[in-house]
Structure 1
Amino acid sequence: MAELLRVEGLRAGYGEAVVVQGVDFALDAGRSLALLGRNGTGKTTLLNTLVGVTRRHAGRIVLAGQDVSALPPYRRAAAGIGWVPQERNIFKSLTVDENLSAVARPGPWTPARAYEMFPRLAERRANLGHQLSGGEQQMLAVARALVLNPKLLLLDEPLEGLAPIIVDELLRSIARVVRDEGLSAIIVEQNPRMILPITQQAIVLDRGSIVHRGDSAALLADPQQLEGWLAVSQR
């Protein structure tokens, strides 16, 4: 498998404050990565650095052979990075249709295909963004990232604060995209037992540095490690 993403010696944060340091990892095309860690360990900062909205102090980010380390966010998006931030950042004054058509780029993921994946959005295609529930807004944020037809999808806690029925629906859709259809992805999630089954690789951050890397299945099968690094109950 060809390598899609390589991160080398990454040191980044906000202003002079360094949050992640000495981060090295690689991700092959068609593979997905669970990015785990307790609150405040630098997971969101790492994703934000890949997108280009933090200050990079050192290191390189190479996407599909292109060094994107110094590129602004809009050029990283054009290079193939799709991002679903915690804040969702949908256009609340535009309709669902307009949210998708405004950013869609040529490729297999079209607005019509996004509607097939998220029937709730199809039913609300004429609704404005602010008229959607939180779960529907999250679905729209994911759909909007997909119609960019990215090489790499970044999802920052996509299940946070959602009703259980919406969590199940969204998790099935994410699993389809990253496991069944092979879109490369990095997923931050507070509940490792939800995300490890649908990813191939896992990284655990602590105090801004990688303290564990390996197969998702192996980490899921090791309750001692989950308890030690992530305070996950063994029950």
Structure 2
Amino acid sequence: MSEPVLVTEKLVAGYGEASVLSAISFSLSQGKTLALLGRNGTGKTTLVDTLAGLTTYHSGTIRLMGRDITKLRADRRAAAGIGWVPQERNIFKSLTVEENLTAIARPGTWSVERVYAMFPRLKERRRNLGNQLSGGEQQMLAVGRALMVNPKLLLLDEPLEGLAPIIVDELLAAIRRIVEGEGMSAIIIEQKARKVLPLSDEAVILDRGAIVYRGASADLLADETVLSQHLGVEKGIRH
């Protein structure tokens, strides 16, 4: 059996002296996708930011492909194989699309041409500056940039937030190709559980910085009671 791509053990972290995450322990197998769910303010972004190396560490461990990365800086974690797409996207708005992609590229199977094949809109706008792109195009560029570091694990923090429905469908299709067709391991935060659960293998629900549910995504998708209790998803309503 292959080694998990990610293992966290009793992870406690937050901001300054304040702890947001409480003894978070879970693992993710290689080639699998985890849906990270929970109401607003439950610690989802803090967990992803902690994996990326951007919060205050208190205790516990993080291992990536068996390597302890707990004490590594954010740039070292990126070099180790963490690809991160934050809510803010963090693209270089004064650089062109192509410059954004090449600026942080690392050797591997993902290249500029592969990103363009995944997101044809970016190829059409390859000479446009980041601030000349629509919100959806900026999100595609943020995902493309993360792929260009050729990560072992892709972290996506609400990649569909604020996007038009047609762009949501386009981005969902691309994410599906990345995690299913390419076998990329990923953790995806998404407020609309029914959007992300069909894309994922496993699901974790956080509440007050602690894991309150973990199981197969298909099981959670079929469990109206848990969806309603922990996520506020109304029975019979397709979000």
- TM-score category (smaller protein): over 0.9
AA in 1 matched with 2:137: E
Query: Which segments of 5 or more consecutive residues in structure 1 lack a partner in the other structure?
Result: none
Give the deviation of 1:107 after TM superposition.
1.1
Matches within 5 A, 1:189-228: 189-228=190-229
| Deviation by residue 1:145-197 (Cα, 9 ceiling, x = unmatched) | 00110000000000000000000000000011012221000000000100000
Take 1:177 and 1:118, find their aligned partners in 2: how far apart are those partners? 11
- TM-score, length basis structure 2: 0.97
Residue 171 of structure 2 is aligned to residue 174 of structure 1: no
The within-5 A match list for 1:1-235 is 1-235=2-236
Give the secondary structure class of the aligned counterpart of 1:141.
helix
Q: Write the deviation string for residues 75-120 of structure 1: whole angstroms up to 9, x where unpaired.
A: 0000000000000000000000000011111111101010011011
- Secondary structure of the residue aligned to 2:89 is coil
Distance 2:118 2:65 in 1: 27
- Normalization by structure 1: what TM-score? 0.99
Q: CA deviation at 1:2?
A: 2.4
CA-based RMSD: 0.6
Counterpart of 2:98 in 1: which secondary structure? helix
Query: Aligned partners of 1:115 and 1:233: how far apart in 2?
Result: 38
SS in 1 for 2:5: strand
- Measured in 2, the distance between the counterparts of 1:25 and 1:118 equals 32
Kept in 2, the 8 Å contact 1:179–1:199? The answer is no
2:84 aligned partner, one-letter code: W
Instruction: Check whether the contact 2:89–2:138 (CA below 8 A) recurs between aligned residues.
Output: yes
Q: CA deviation at 1:8?
A: 0.3
- Whether the aligned pair in 2 keeps the contact of 1:21 and 1:209 (CA below 8 Å) is yes
Secondary structure of 1:3's counterpart equals: coil
Cα distance in structure 2, aligned partners of 1:223 and 1:233: 8
Superposition misfits of 4+ residues, deviation over 2 angstroms: none
The 3-state SS of whatever aligns with 1:57 is strand
Aligned length: 235
Q: Distance in 2 between matches of 1:217 and 1:180?
A: 19
User: Percent identity among equivalent residues?
Assistant: 65
SS of 1:126's equivalent in the other structure is coil
Equivalent residue of 1:24, what SS?
Answer: strand
Gaps of 5+ in 2: none
Is 2:35–2:197's contact at 8 Å kept on the other side of the alignment?
yes
Contact kept in structure 2, 1:3 and 1:26, CA below 8 Å: yes
CA displacement at 1:217 relative to structure 2: 0.4
Q: Which amino acid aligns with 1:227?
A: S
Kept in 1, the 8 Å contact 2:8–2:26? The answer is: yes
Contact persistence 1:6–1:62 (CA under 8 A):
yes
Secondary structure of 2:154's aligned partner: strand
Q: Residue type matched to 1:216 in 2? A: S
Secondary structure of 1:39's aligned partner: coil
Instruction: Report if aligned partners of 2:3, 2:66 keep a CA contact under 8 Å in 1.
Output: no
